[in-house]
Amino acid sequence: GLTGGIGSGKTAAADFLAERGATVIDADVESRALTAEGGEALPRIREAFGDGVFDENGLLNRRALGNLVFGDREKRLALEGILHPMIQHRMIKKIRQAGVEDVPFVFLSVPLLFETGMDALCDETWCLSLPVEEQIRRVMARDDMTREEAVARIESQMPLEEKCRRASLVIRTNRPIEATQAELAVLLRELRRRLG
Ligand code: ATP
């Protein structure tokens, strides 16, 4: 299980591991597929949140939905209630498929790994970690958000230090990305030695 806070470097780490030939099953990819044009989750999202979170072409306005749910705990839980079971269903199908194909191990990249209990599916959990100020700065820069928007998203998750406390391994990402990648390369080699 690969996890961390928003903007802590999960995607960058998952991309690197995938480039090195590892199988990565990413909750964000599944979530986007479910909410892309014609996505399976859209009817239920429209039912729960109304037309206001869709644009004139019927596409989901992620920013509007984000601002709605990250400012209101009940709405966030309602959205999670729609999406999380669908995401988990799709991920479990992919895990089974990897098993059929004799893939020796897979990474589950899940921002809410501990919050959703999906860590129970994992033999090992790696948490990507950085100081919260750096996290805010990266989220603001990457997503062109105000400080308030970034903080609302960060505060909706389990505190990063709690995730790190629960994880089997903590990987720091407040350093040049090459340093994180070098550590990941060693860890991947070691996993292959053990499980490959
Ligand atoms: P989210 O949960 O929002 O999807 P994430 O955990 O997937 O976020 P990334 O998108 O991978 O985070 O990283 C956030 C930003 O930080 C990106 O702009 C990325 O290039 C940068 N970044 C990631 N890892 C590092 C690192 N080790 N050193 C420096 N910058 C990094």
CA 63 to chain centre: 17
Would you call 109 helix, strand, or coil by DSSP?
strand
Ligand 1 atom closest to the Cα of residue 109 is: 7
Q: How far is the CA of 194 from the centre of ligand 1 (A)?
A: 28
Q: Which atom in ligand 1 lies closest to the alpha carbon of residue 176? A: 28
Question: pLDDT by residue (tens digit) across 18-37?
Answer: 999 999 999 999 999 999 99
Q: Which atom of ligand 1 is nearest to the CA of 8?
A: 6
Query: Per-residue confidence of the chain (196 residues) as pLDDT tens digits?
Result: 999 999 999 999 999 999 999 999 999 999 999 999 999 999 999 999 999 999 999 999 998 999 899 889 999 999 999 999 999 999 999 999 999 999 999 999 999 999 999 999 999 999 999 999 999 999 999 999 999 999 999 998 999 999 999 999 999 999 999 999 999 999 999 999 998 7
- Between the CA of 102 and the centroid of ligand 1 the distance, in Å, is 30
Alpha helices in 101-146 (DSSP H): 132-143
R_g (Cα) of the chain, nearest Å:
17
- Strand pairing report for 2-4 and 126-129: parallel
φ/ψ of 59, rounded to 5, equals: -85, 145
